[in-house]
């Protein structure tokens, strides 16, 4: 009897069921694909301090000037594809990419991987997560 009720419920509310399936699929995709190569602030400090990672900040220059990870290099997303060539000398090095919240930097990571960079890491949560972890920001030019 319960199976029949479930089938009836799904038939009457198929749009809600389809939305649920879509949300679950997107969550799984996000966990499996988008999380690839992302690191939290603690893992990022390990990359910087022990693996000499290049920190690449893809926020606009005005945001970068307000505060960035010490030693970071700024290449804003609006001209990123054109400037990727300037990074080829760092191809064998770990690269930590950051932005405000982690979404723009994930796009930059994807672009770098297309260009053949292998050790590319996205700072999960971006500079906001960095600040939440009480880690220092600098206003000096990187």
Contacts of 25 (CB under 8 A, 6+ apart): none
99 flagged as catalytic: yes
Nearest to 129 by CA among 54, 43, 41, 44: 41
**Of 44, 48, 87, 99, which is the active-site residue?**
99
Q: Which residues make beta-bridge pairs with 97?
A: 56, 122
Nearest to 69 by CA among 133, 120, 12, 11: 133
Contacts of 108 (CB under 8 A, 6+ apart): 56, 58, 77, 80, 97, 99
- 54-57 vs 38-39, strand pairing mode: unpaired
Nearest to 125 by CA among 95, 140, 94, 104: 104
Provide the annotated active-site residues.
99
């Amino acid at each position: 009897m319960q199976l029949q009720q479930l089938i009836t419920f799904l038939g009457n509310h198929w749009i809600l069921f389809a939305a649920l399936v879509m949300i679950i699929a997107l969550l799984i995709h996000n966990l499996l694909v988008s999380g690839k190569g992302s690191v939290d602030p603690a893992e990022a400090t390990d990359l910087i301090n022990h693996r000499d990672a290049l920190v690449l900040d893809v926020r606009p220059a005005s945001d970068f000037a307000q505060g960035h990870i010490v030693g970071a290099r700024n290449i804003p997303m609006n001209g990123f594809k054109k400037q990727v060539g300037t990074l080829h000398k760092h191809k064998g090095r770990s690269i930590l990419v950051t932005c405000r919240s982690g979404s723009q930097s994930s796009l930059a990571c994807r672009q770098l991987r297309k260009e053949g960079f292998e050790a590319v890491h996205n700072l999960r949560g971006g500079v906001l997560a960095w600040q939440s972890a009480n880690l220092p920001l600098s206003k000096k030019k990187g």
